[in-house]
Every structure is written in structure tokens, then in C-alpha cells.
Amino acid sequence: MAAKSAGSRAARIGLAIAGGSVLGYGAYYASQATAVSALKRQKGEAETKVFVSQGKFRRAESTIQETDSLIKALQQQTEQGKRGLAEVGQQLAAARQQVQQLEAVQQQKQEEVQRTHQDIERAQAALEQARRDLTQSKQDTTMAEQSLRLLNQQMADAKSRYNPLNHPRVKGMFK
């Protein structure tokens, strides 16, 4: 039995060593499994962060490109607006110059109208004076004609007196 005991003891020791090895290996495995599990979790978190960061990076790049495009478009629009503003400014300056020219023409026309109106007033005054002169001339002519008739009659009477028989006293005697 001693051999059985020695064999069993050895088997026990072997089992103990094997059990200790298994337990040691199990403990080592468990500690490594925990470390691996923690690293896997950290790796998963890191991968998630990388994925999220890459997404943010792509969105940021996209936003930058869109913003750059928008800025370029707005700059082009601004340049077009400036050119349009300059054109409108030139048109406005031309329109102002034309307005000034038209105002000068209007002033000349007003002066012409005033001169014409003054000429009309002078012509009307001259017409009135001519009518008064005509009326006066008619009256003077009428009076001159009456005077001429009277003088013609007086001259005829005076000529008839050349002959003493035509004298009114002499004629009055024969009646």
C-alpha cells in the first residue's frame, strides 16, 4: 500500500501541480482576458471616436468647400454688383447731364417766350397807337377836307368877285 500511497501521493502532487498550473494559468488567463477585454473595449471606443471624428472631419471639409464655394459666388456677385453699380452711376451721371442740358434749353425757351411776349405787348401797344393815329388821321383828314371844301368855295367866291357884277351886294340889288 505504500506504493499505492506513494503513487497516490505523487498523483496528488501531480494533480496539485497540475491543478496549481491550471489555477495559475487560469488566473493568468483571467487577468489577460480582463486586460484583453479592457483593450477591446478601449479599441471599440477608439474606433467609435475615429469614426465619429472622421465623420466630423468629412462634414467640416464639406462645410469648408461649400463655404468656399459660397464665398466665391458671393464675391462674384459682389463684383457684378459693383460693375452694375458703376454702370448705373454712369447712367445717372449721363442722365443728370442730360437734365442739365434740358434745363438750359428750358431756360432758353422761357426767355424766348418772355421776349416774344414782350414783343407781342410792344406790337399791341404799337397797334393801339397806330389805331389812335388812324382815328386822328381820319379826323384830321375830315377836317382838312372840310377846310379844303370851304377854301375851295371861298376861292370860288373870291374868283367870282374878280367880276364886280358877281359881288354879293351887287347881286343883292338885282334881286
DSSP the chain: -HHHHHHHHHHHHHHHHHHHHHHHHHHHHHHHHHHHHHHHHHHHHHHHHHHHHHHHHHHHHHHHHHHHHHHHHHHHHHHHHHHHHHHHHHHHHHHHHHHHHHHHHHHHHHHHHHHHHHHHHHHHHHHHHHHHHHHHHHHHHHHHHHHHHHHHHHHHHHHHTTSGGGSHHHHHHT-
Confidence (pLDDT) at 173: 80
Confidence (pLDDT) at 31: 74
Residues whose CB is less than 8 angstroms from the CB of residue 170 and which lie 6 or more positions away in sequence, other chains included: 164
Predicted TM-score (pTM) of the model is 0.42
Confidence (pLDDT) at 123: 95
Give the confidence band of 129 by pLDDT, cuts at 50, 70, 90: very high
How does pLDDT run across 34-72, given as a tens digit for each residue? Answer: 878 888 888 888 888 898 988 988 999 999 999 999 999
Domain locations along the chain: 11-140
Tell me how far apart the alpha carbons of residues 49 and 25 are, in angstroms, rounded to a whole number: 35
